[in-house]
Structure 1
Amino acid sequence: MHISFGILAALLSASSLVAASPTQSAGDLMLDLNSKAISALENAQAPTSRKKCTIANANVRRDW
Structure 2
Amino acid sequence: MAFIHAYTKLNRRPPAEADVQRYFGITPLTTHHIVRELERRGFIRRSTGLARSSELLLAPKLLPVLR
Higher fraction of strand: 2
Do Structure 1 and Structure 2 share a fold, with TM-score over 0.5?
Answer: no
**TM-score relative to the length of structure 2:** 0.27
Greater C-alpha Rg: 1
Where relative contact order (Cα < 8 A, 6+ residues apart) is larger, the structure is 2
Higher fraction of helix: 1
